[in-house]
């Protein structure tokens, strides 16, 4: 009994009369408790000096290393009406396999002979270009002939002009000679008249001198008239020469203008040919878009369009294709406060959803069912969820990840930091200090960059 009351009753009880009470009073429980406390204290003290691996926990998802290995949306480049399906969800398709067929819904492409008609237009336009080329060649030849004819005409006119100039010079000489003859005859007449007055010459001789003077005067006037006519002819020839140049230049410019117009029409036709060829190529390429094919080997995961006769728009998503071959990675998100602690090349313990594991956060080597990874990329900007994305690849030095992992599965990650004693980790958590972290060795960083 405890005997804690002021009115003790122990003197009225005989312990030997109660066997249970006797057994209880014989126990020394205080010694056992003391040993337990001492043992727990010693073990706790020893545990405080055990190594503890600091870590940062985060949640993530399974993804792939390369963008072309992730689920891809298959879209229709052109709008159309679904005619037939050749696959169903879950089917495996090879690259180039036909998935579905669509038909045209735009009236601009309803013509079944659209390609042939466009090709005929191109051929006719090409013939027009040839005709324009021939016309340009003819006009160029006309220009050459006209130039030669103009040169001949100008040479002929210049020769006539030269002859006329020579004739003017000849007439000028004749005119001067006639003037000199008249002057001489006039002088002779005057002398004869003087001699006649004094009686040394007869009247007949005087009249002969008068006649001679009149004849030379007549010759002078005729020579002057001829000289003036020659000058007038030179002026006429100069005018004619100028008219020839003007006329041929006008004809030359007219043909040249027509030639430039022909060249312009030829260039316009060639431009139309290029446009038609572009349309022809577009029509030909569009015909190949009526059959939507698989861009790579993979599995049809989900279709967003169903039925026959449904109309789809340009760029509308039709289905999702998961590539056959892919290299898995883990996409995890860390808080901004933990970002400075994470470096490329650090090791990560990963627990995948669906794979049972026993995890000891402080002793990763004692964990069971986890898989090793290595950080290979850290985003430089924050994500929409307020955290930074970190990509983890498979660590080739450890055992391989399970083959049955699928894109999008969940994963729990432990990013391992520095090894510290347990007491330090407790003291850090009590004071709210950040974990210790270490830099990746230079050799490991170089090897990671090479990879």
Structure tokens at 213: 């003077």
Task: State what percent of residues in the chain have pLDDT above 70.
Answer: 82
Residue 75 host element (H or E): strand 72-75
- Per-residue pLDDT, 28: 56
- Per-residue pLDDT, 228: 87
9: helix, coil or strand?
Answer: coil
**Strand spans (E) along 246-337:** 291-293, 298-303, 311-312, 317-323, 328-334
20: helix, coil or strand?
Answer: helix
Between the alpha carbon of residue 119 and those of residues 96, 123, 279, 284, the distances in Å are: 28, 6, 10, 11
pTM, two decimal places: 0.55
Question: Which CATH fold would you assign to the domain 114-288?
Answer: Helix Hairpins (1.10.287)
Task: State what percent of residues in the chain have pLDDT above 90.
Answer: 13
Separation between Cα atoms, residue 66 and residue 57, nearest integer Å: 25
- Per-residue pLDDT, 14: 56
User: Residue 37 pLDDT > 90, yes or no?
Assistant: no
Separation between Cα atoms, residue 310 and residue 303, nearest integer Å: 13
120, 277 Cβ separation under 8 angstroms = no
Report the mean per-residue pLDDT for the chain: 80
Residue-wise pLDDT tens digits, 365-411: 555 557 878 888 888 888 888 888 888 888 877 778 887 788 888 88
- Per-residue pLDDT, 138: 92
- Per-residue pLDDT, 307: 81
Separation between Cα atoms, residue 324 and residue 301, nearest integer Å: 12
Centre a 10 Å sphere on the Cβ of residue 74 and count the other Cβ atoms it contains. 19
User: Residue 319 pLDDT > 60, yes or no?
Assistant: yes
The sheet carrying 298-303 orders its strands as 72-75, 317-323, 298-303, 92-93
For domain 72-95+294-322, which CATH number applies: 2.40.50.100, 3.20.20.140, 1.25.40.80, 1.10.150.20?
A: 2.40.50.100
- Per-residue pLDDT, 263: 92
Adjacent-strand bridge partners of 298 = 93, 323
Residue-wise pLDDT tens digits, 126-166: 999 999 999 999 989 988 988 888 888 888 888 888 888 88
Question: Which CATH fold would you assign to the domain 52-69+326-450?
Answer: Elongation Factor Tu (Ef-tu); domain 3 (2.40.30)
Residue-wise pLDDT tens digits, 273-283: 999 999 999 88
11 vs 310: which has the higher pLDDT: 310
User: Residue 448 pLDDT > 50, yes or no?
Assistant: no
Q: Could you tell me the residue ranges of all domains in the chain?
A: 1-48, 52-69+326-450, 72-95+294-322, 114-288
By mean pLDDT, which of 205-209, 237-241, 400-404, 417-421 is the weakest?
417-421
């Amino acid at each position: 009994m405890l005997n804690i009351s002021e009115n003790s009753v122990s003197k009225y009880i005989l312990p030997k009369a109660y066997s249970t009470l006797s057994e209880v009073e014989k126990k020394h429980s205080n010694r056992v408790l003391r040993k337990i406390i001492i043992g727990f204290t010693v073990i706790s003290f020893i545990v405080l000096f055990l190594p503890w691996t600091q870590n940062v926990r985060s949640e993530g998802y399974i993804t792939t290393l390369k963008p072309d290995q992730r689920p891809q949306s298959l879209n229709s480049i052109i709008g159309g009406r679904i005619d037939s399906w050749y696959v169903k969800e879950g089917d495996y398709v090879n690259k180039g396999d036909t998935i579905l067929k669509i038909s045209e819904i735009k009236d601009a492409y309803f013509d079944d002979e659209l390609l042939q008609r466009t090709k005929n237009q191109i051929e006719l336009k090409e013939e027009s270009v040839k005709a324009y080329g021939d016309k340009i060649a003819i006009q160029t030849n006309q220009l050459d002939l006209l130039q030669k004819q103009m040169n001949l005409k100008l040479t002929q006119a210049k020769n006539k002009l030269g002859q006329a100039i020579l004739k003017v010079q000849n007439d000028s000489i004749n005119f001067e000679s006639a003037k000199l003859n008249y002057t001489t005859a006039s002088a002779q007449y005057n002398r004869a008249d003087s001699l006649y007055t004094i009686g040394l010459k007869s009247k007949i001789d005087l009249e002969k001198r008068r006649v001679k003077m009149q004849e030379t005067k007549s010759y002078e006037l005729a020579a002057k008239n001829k000289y003036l006519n020659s000058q007038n002819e030179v002026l006429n020839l100069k005018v004619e020469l100028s008219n020839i140049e003007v006329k041929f230049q006008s004809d030359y410019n007219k043909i040249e203008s027509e030639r430039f117009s022909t060249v312009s029409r030829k260039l316009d036709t060639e431009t139309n040919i290029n446009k038609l060829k572009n349309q022809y190529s577009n029509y030909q390429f569009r015909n190949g878009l009526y059959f939507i094919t698989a861009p790579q080997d993979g599995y049809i995961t989900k279709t967003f369009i169903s039925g026959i006769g449904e109309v789809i728009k340009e760029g509308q998503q039709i289905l999702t294709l998961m590539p056959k071959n892919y290299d898995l990675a883990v996409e995890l998100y860390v808080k901004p406060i933990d970002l400075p602690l994470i470096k490329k090349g650090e090791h990560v313990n990963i627990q995948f959803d669906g794979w049972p594991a026993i995890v000891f956060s402080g002793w990763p080597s004692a964990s069971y069912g986890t898989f090793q990874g290595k950080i290979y990329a850290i985003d430089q900007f924050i994500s929409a969820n307020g955290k930074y994305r970190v990509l983890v690849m498979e660590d080739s030095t450890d055992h391989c990840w399970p083959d049955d992992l699928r894109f999008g599965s969940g994963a729990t990650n432990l990013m391992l930091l520095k090894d510290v004693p347990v007491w330090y980790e407790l003291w850090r958590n009590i004071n709210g200090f950040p974990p210790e972290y270490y830099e990746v060795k230079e050799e490991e960083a170089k090897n990671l960059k090479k990879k």
